[in-house]
Amino acid sequence: MRSPRPRLIAGLLLAPLLSGCFSSAGNDSSSDSRDSGKERRLRVALAFPPAENYSPYGQDAFDLSRLGVTEGLTRLDANGSAVPGLAESWSSDKSGKNWVFTLRDAKFQDGTDVTAEAVASALTHTAGADPAPSAVSGVKLTAEAVGDNRVEVSTAEADPVLPLRLSNPSLAVFSSKAYGKDGKVNPVGTATGPFELTRITGATAASLDRFDDYWGGRAQASGVDAKFVSDGTARANALRTGDVDIAEAIPVAQVTALDKNTVHEVDTARNTSLYLNTRTGVFKDAGLRAAARKAVDASAVAEGVYEGYAEPAQGLYGPALSWAAGKRTEPTGRAKAADPQGRSITLATYNDRPELPEAAQVLQQQLKKAGFTVKLEVRAYARLESDLLAGKFDASVASRNMMLDTGDPVTVLAGDYTCEGSYNLSRLCDKSVDRLVAAAQTESDPVKRQDAAMKAEAAILGTDAVIPLVHLKVVTGVGASVKGTLLDPYERDLVGIGTRL
């Protein structure tokens, strides 16, 4: 399907990263269980309301991706390899800085053609976004048309995982009509996926219609009605009563109350971790960060909060990434724990993932026992994100998929733990960490890249800026009449052309 030079294959397709597989929930037969012969709209409950008015440059991009609205030049397969999306093939020059992507014949949802000029313009807008999407944080990326159906994407330094990077939902391609003079992007009717966003109801709901000219084939559902329901119990109840057909992120406490045939779990590279603000406040002191780390008992979180749907974390990379365990080394450079002496801290988390507030309460008690005075603050993620990124709290409990950004084990380190990282909840800026992450970014061989990532992991954990708590499974609720729901270990896909009633 593509023809890169043989010597580039290792750099273009990273070795399999996940031990699980990408699957569809439900019997994939062609019969409908409701109103046979009639196309039906899907009703979906998502956990995270849009926080930035559906901007593709932040976390809202993943909602657009899961609903089948957007896509980029590439996508990830089950093994974490880059495979064709809007681009059907690609190759790089000897320098590894310049990649040429050949586009397939496709249309935007506004009826215009997907051309090299349109794609180059879309990527240029993304590269200039402020703040930059995490997938391109620290990457100087340019794009230009080199023909009607070929786009050259260049980086200042050799980037062996650029095809993986371009699979990130934040690098989705939109038509020229989407881009306003104010830098905002309007995804309504301007993307390329099988479902077209047609109506937005604030941060509570959205309507999507099937895009009949989708290059990948006509979707089997006529449309999608999406609700954003932050409360996990409410999502589970909506599935149980038949108000929705698919509900993502079912709380573990609700699993036993659902019909077992509607519960589908998948191993992911997602962790729940405690992030400590290293730039201001109490945890600027490395000794107090060490005291917090010593106070934390992750097994109490795994057993008491996640009830078997998680296990105590061994590091940043969990068991779903089968290569990690054998390469892990002890954290380096940890400080000696200091006496908290009653220091007051504010611990923040969000309730869109219902286990997080409970996990935060467990940590609150553990930190109090160690000598800290702890105030807990819980909000919906949409109301918390900007303050999290601005370092308004001493500590936060958050959930993060280590492969969400690109499927590359290094990219997330650059986005989350370097001085210029765009999703740096710990506000970490450590020269040793930056140096090791930069070295890992230059490795094109998959095995060497993994080795370098683990060295960087040891240095990051050595700062105690982040304390991994548990490695997670994700539970999706799928109605018995639904076929073809996408159970994605990368949590980018949920509804596709084969998802139907």
Torsion of CA 443, 445, 446, 448, to 10 degrees: -60
Q: Which helix (H) or strand (E) holds 84?
A: strand 82-84
pLDDT at 130: 86
**CATH architecture, range 6-227+480-487:** 3-Layer(aba) Sandwich (3.40)
Q: Is the predicted pLDDT of residue 49 greater than 80, yes or no?
A: yes
Q: Is the predicted pLDDT of residue 11 greater than 80, yes or no?
A: no
pLDDT at 403: 82
pLDDT at 21: 47
pLDDT in tens, 396-451: 999 998 887 778 889 889 989 999 998 999 999 999 999 999 999 888 888 899 99
Q: Is the predicted pLDDT of residue 339 greater than 50, yes or no?
A: yes
Using an 8 Å Cβ cutoff, are 259 and 479 in contact? no
DSSP string, 407-444: S-TTHHHHHHHSTT-TT-TT----HHHHHHHHHHHT--
Q: Is the predicted pLDDT of residue 152 greater than 50, yes or no?
A: yes
pLDDT at 243: 97
CB atoms within 10 A of CB 312: 16
Which sequence spans correspond to the domains of the chain? 6-227+480-487, 268-473
pLDDT in tens, 109-137: 999 999 999 999 999 999 999 888 888 87
* Angle, vertex CA 47, rays to CA 42 and CA 48, nearest 5: 115
Residue owning tokens 């026992």: 369
Task: Lowest mean pLDDT of 197-201, 325-329, 462-466, name the range.
Answer: 325-329
- Same topology, domains 6-227+480-487 and 268-473? Answer is no
pLDDT bucket at 323, cuts 50 / 70 / 90: confident
User: What is the value of pTM for the model shown?
Assistant: 0.77
Q: Is the predicted pLDDT of residue 8 greater than 50, yes or no?
A: no
Give the CATH H-level superfamily of domain 268-473: Dipeptide-binding Protein; Domain 3 (3.10.105.10)
Residue 221's Cβ-side half-sphere holds a number of Cα atoms within 13 Å equal to 29
pLDDT bucket at 182, cuts 50 / 70 / 90: confident
- Report long-range pairs for 403-406 (Cβ below 8 Å, ≥24 apart): 403/17, 403/18, 403/80, 403/269, 403/321, 403/489, 403/490, 404/62, 404/269, 404/270, 404/490, 404/491, 404/492, 405/134, 405/135, 405/168, 406/135, 406/161, 406/164, 406/165, 406/167, 406/168
Cβ within 8 Å of residue 469, ≥6 positions away: 271, 272, 273, 274, 296, 298, 301, 302, 312, 313, 359, 363, 397
